Amino acid sequence: MSNAEDAAGSAAHGEGETRRDFLLYATGAFGAVGAAAAVWPLISQMNPAADTLAASTTEVNIGPIAEGQSITVVWRGKPVFIRRRTKAEIAAAGKVDLADLPDPEADSKRVTKPEWLVVVGICTHLGCIPKGQRTGERRGDYGGWFCPCHGSHYDTSGRIRKGPAPRNLSIPEYKFVSDKLLQIG
């Protein structure tokens, strides 16, 4: 009789999943959802705040900037120099022998459009702001910028030409949204 009971018992439980298996899967799924709900706020708090994201890019209307004119905008708390270069400035920047530069970099690698130069206006020596943005300010020996703190001279491509600065003026990430709109960041 025990053989008949064993056969009936195995037929009643079936060869597939049992109620115990269902409870095990349901508990595991409930635990996974609970763990995700507990971890989500911890991961979410690492995202930048909305005001930080808003400050990460700056759009500048470059339409009114005349050839040979420079403007300064603030991006991430830093001054950014935007210069609409003249044909003479572009030609002079392109003719420089890279072997003569302390930080060799071709002008074509520093600009997206030759007419526009966009650089972070902070001297790479000790962080002063170079002169040469305003009319009448000394532009240095190479027509670009001059840092009054320790005498670094930059050319019209923002490359260091003379003085203690170790590197060229840095180039921020930027793109032209349209012919008259520049987005920095």
Active-site residue list: 150
Neighbouring CB atoms inside 10 A of 63's CB total 10
Query: Residue 145 in contact with residue 157, Cβ under 8 Å?
Result: no
Q: Residue 65 and residue 61: Cα distance in Å, rounded?
A: 9
Neighbouring-strand partners of residue 58: 184
Closest to 115 (Cα-Cα) out of 89, 143, 85: 85
Amino acid symbol at 69: Q
Nearest to 120 by CA among 69, 68, 173, 67: 173
Q: Name beta bridge partners: 182.
A: 60, 176
How far is residue 58's CA from residue 56's CA, in Å, rounded to a whole number? 7
| Residue-by-residue DSSP string for 77-94 | TEEEEEEE--HHHHHHHH
